[in-house]
Structure 1
Amino acid sequence: MEMELEDAPGELVKVLDPISRYGANIQNVVHKREEKTPLGKVPVTIILEVKEEQRLEEIVDEIKEAGARIARVGEEEVVAKAVNLLVGDIVKTDIKDTVERLNSVQGARVSDLNLAVGKSGGESSARLIFEATSKESLKNVTDKLEEIAKEKDLLVIEPLE
């Protein structure tokens, strides 16, 4: 579900509350506060799992009542997943930039990130889990990870097949 929210305290909570009350499972929330839509609002994407179509309709209705503009409600089936490890000075080389660039790959996204920071802020490691709507998209995002790692002098450890 893609939506636009006012940039004000409590706006995100207003849309998360109905999702919780109707028993939907929130898998991911991307709140891009630093970006603005043409209407001057904050773009928010919520990946959720709802068992019943009726509950989804009720959630959408309540979110609209809360003042959010819903841009898209749709289903993208995840058909491929991969786990990669990244090692190096991940924090200093801007992990946010890395994730945003990976999430720009069509049909794929970083669904989970676990960062372990080394002593004195030096080397660290990150486990990245990718979800994709096709094997081609998964390959594209892992290729993008390799490209970024080379640029930032990071090591990528891929799982064994």
Structure 2
Amino acid sequence: MEESALVRLTVLARDQPGELIRILKPLSDYNANIQGVFHDHSRDSDKSMATGSVPVEITFTFDPAMSEDDKKKRIDKIKAAYAKDKIQVLNISIETVETTRTDHVLFLGPIFETDIQDSIVQITSTGARIADMQAAIDSENKSSTVMFKLEYEKETIHDIVMAKVASISKEKGLKYITS
């Protein structure tokens, strides 16, 4: 599977207007893509309540094309910006998230008459997995519609999968639509 890094950051924020914007600014300055912000007053500890602060959890990512070294440098700069602004970092962790690419391919034409099993073998030979298949069969016209839900773990094989779909369509006289 492809992997991407999700950074989970928890800081202690003063419970006052404008504080959240102040906390998010370093993330913006260093091109973090914010995925979520969780600001929960019910999680306040006695210490937090005594200081008028609440924990804020922020999840974010960076551009997947960015090198791991550059991501680490940006995280260090974000932590330094928080230290300069006297924002206490309670926790920071980097989680690896596995991702799967999904495409749908709709074949139109005599797919059953042109050996659907062969088409399945050709598609799966690319490294794609057929996660679902739905078919509508018109026996009078020998025309069918088959929709494949394709999943694969590496973005790099997308072009290979689509080239194989085009090749199957040309070879068997089918039309196809992808999404």
Interval of TM-score (by shorter of Structure 1 and Structure 2): 0.3 to 0.5
Give the TM-score, by structure 1 length. Answer: 0.48
Whose strand proportion is higher, 1 or 2? 2
Computing the radius of gyration from Cα coordinates, the structure with the larger value is 2
Give the TM-score, by structure 2 length. Answer: 0.43
Q: Which has the higher contact order (CA 8 A, sep 6+)?
A: 2
